[in-house]
Structure 1
Amino acid sequence: MRRVAAAEAAAFQRYGTGRQFGPLWGVVAAPGLPLNAAWHDGSRPFATADLRAYLAFAQAWGVEAWVHVLSAFAPGVLPALQEADFALHHVLHLYTHDLEARPAAPPLEVVPSADPAGWAALSARGFGSGNEAVMRAVAQAPGTHLFTAQVDGRPAGTAALSLTDGVAAFHGTSTLAEFRERGVQAALLAARLRAAHEGGATLATVFVTPGTGSERNVIRAGFRLSGARLSFTPR
């Protein structure tokens, strides 16, 4: 899991102003965005002083402080989180896929998108009102590969991936309401697995909310449960 944590911490820097606090990598994108956070890179446990320095950094920028930790490293950092008065806010399951063989072709047409603004607008429609700013930030981040699935020639869903040190991180997956239950997410997963394999990645990762349709889709696509992302915030 150290490889996944290091890749996430490095890739997260694409979203804005970053600073390192020991093994924590903090980022400020823009006020109000969920991209304002610090990732633990898994290299060693962080100290209470690291957390407090990151908290001061976030407060100086006027954003909420969030800390993401992979479950494999939680035992070593819980004392510092408790001492700094951080509490667990939510959990996402981490799934991984070993890209040993070239994945099968997607069941629907999926095309790369060269229009970040258009992709972001479509993605925000799929996620729902209030997600416009964060999807624009995702679409414009350096090194992000954007994809659009089509049903009967019409844009039906979006997805993204980023490649860092051989790890392909999948994110930004949404489906327009009128195209749900038609295999759009399955097609976007298959297309990104092929793109990641062809791009030289040896591992694909995705975080999903437990018990959702998205979790069922990634399992069907051959991903395996490998842990969880624990997100903490000050009490």
Structure 2
Amino acid sequence: MNTQLLERLAHAEAAAHTRYGRTGAAARFGPLVAVHAGPDLPVNTAWHDGTRRPTPEELAAFEAFSVQHAQSATVHLLSAFTTLLPLLRDRGYELDYVLHAYIHDLANLPAQPLTQTREEGADAWAALAAQGFGPGAEAIMSVVAHAPGTRRFVADVDGTPAATAAFSLTSAVAAFHGTATLPPFRGRGVQSALLAHRLHRAAQAGATLASVFVTPGTGSERNVERAGFRLAGMRLTLSRRE
């Protein structure tokens, strides 16, 4: 595990997290960057920025922010910073889930994809992405689509929209997200094409590193491995139990 690399990734993710506060609120509590984007949204969390341990007072202030906005106190941290776990556990935090963190050096790019890929407006992209993710995804996809700095892409198959993907660029790190394939087009390689397309676009935009978080053991993980991403660590998500 490359601690310096994960520190860079944590810093970029925490800085980018504030984009989701556009529709609600964002606040910093020492090394924690917290967001409330709207009721019951999965981005209503805090990111640890990879610098230092939060103090008990900073954690208490973050927890008060969470209570104020009627959301659980939820923290993302990367696996280089597991020394924070005893502190969080003492305050009642428990592990919710783990994602694998992958990175790609943009000095080495795959071949340009042949699939027709284009950029899309926020509203149209959000509607397509929600179709890929399924019922109930409309609100969060709208927040993601309209977040400042989001680059939104759609892959077409035979002239029909087939899949969505996005990235945002912070501190020369391109964070890939918003990946969804509409049901009729699954298993046809469109997500692999969108990964390659975004790697080229991110490099053109000045990124030197791309990152993506995926659920372990899924088709998405196999796709990012085939696209040349390498495993850098894990993202741990913990929530405070009342």
Residue 149 of structure 1 contacts residue 156 of structure 1 at CA under 8 Å; is this kept in 2? yes
CA distance in structure 2 between the partners assigned to 1:125 and 1:193 by the alignment: 24
> Is 1:20 aligned to 2:28, yes or no?
yes
Instruction: Please list the CA deviations of residues 87-127 of structure 1 after superposition, one character each: whole Å capped at 9, or x if unmatched.
Output: 000000000000013442113111111x2111001000000
**What is the letter of the counterpart of residue 213 of structure 1?**
G
> Is 1:165 aligned to 2:178, yes or no?
no
Which of the numbers 29, 44, 49 marks the counterpart of 2:37?
29
**What is the letter of the counterpart of residue 181 of structure 2?**
T
Instruction: Please list the CA deviations of residues 161-190 of structure 1 after superposition, one character each: whole Å capped at 9, or x if unmatched.
Output: 000010000000000000001001101101
Residue 107 of structure 1 contacts residue 183 of structure 1 at CA under 8 Å; is this kept in 2? no
Which of the numbers 112, 117, 135 marks the counterpart of 1:110?
117
Report deviation, 1:80: 1.4
- Identity of matched residues, %: 57
CA distance in structure 2 between the partners assigned to 1:130 and 1:65 by the alignment: 22
> Is 1:175 aligned to 2:181, yes or no?
yes
CA distance in structure 2 between the partners assigned to 1:22 and 1:15 by the alignment: 19
Which of the numbers 9, 14, 27 marks the counterpart of 1:9?
14
Report deviation, 1:49: 2.5
CA distance in structure 1 between the partners assigned to 2:114 and 2:211 by the alignment: 21
Instruction: Please list the CA deviations of residues 32-62 of structure 1 after superposition, one character each: whole Å capped at 9, or x if unmatched.
Output: 0001000000011223332221111011011
Deviates more, 1:176-185 or 1:98-107: 98-107
Gaps of 5+ in 1: none
CA distance in structure 1 between the partners assigned to 2:53 and 2:211 by the alignment: 22
**What is the letter of the counterpart of residue 149 of structure 2?**
G
Which of the numbers 114, 134, 141 marks the counterpart of 1:128?
134
Please give the root-mean-square deviation of Cα atoms over the aligned residues, in Å. 0.9
Residue 105 of structure 2 contacts residue 210 of structure 2 at CA under 8 Å; is this kept in 1? yes
Instruction: Give the 3-state SS of the residue equivalent to 1:186 in structure 2.
Output: helix
Residue 10 of structure 2 contacts residue 78 of structure 2 at CA under 8 Å; is this kept in 1? yes
Moved over 3 A (4+): none
Instruction: Please list the CA deviations of residues 141-173 of structure 1 after superposition, one character each: whole Å capped at 9, or x if unmatched.
Output: 000000000101100000010000100000000
Residue 19 of structure 2 contacts residue 148 of structure 2 at CA under 8 Å; is this kept in 1? yes
What residue number does 1:140 align with? 146
Residue 110 of structure 2 contacts residue 227 of structure 2 at CA under 8 Å; is this kept in 1? no
Aligned residues: 233
Instruction: Give the 3-state SS of the residue equivalent to 1:59 in structure 2.
Output: helix
Deviates more, 1:134-143 or 1:43-52: 43-52
What residue number does 2:64 align with? 56
**What is the letter of the counterpart of residue 97 of structure 1?**
H
Instruction: Please list the CA deviations of residues 15-43 of structure 1 after superposition, one character each: whole Å capped at 9, or x if unmatched.
Output: 01111111001111001000100000001
What residue number does 1:38 align with? 46
TM-score, normalised by the number of residues in structure 1:
0.97
Residue 48 of structure 1 contacts residue 81 of structure 1 at CA under 8 Å; is this kept in 2? no
CA distance in structure 2 between the partners assigned to 1:170 and 1:118 by the alignment: 19
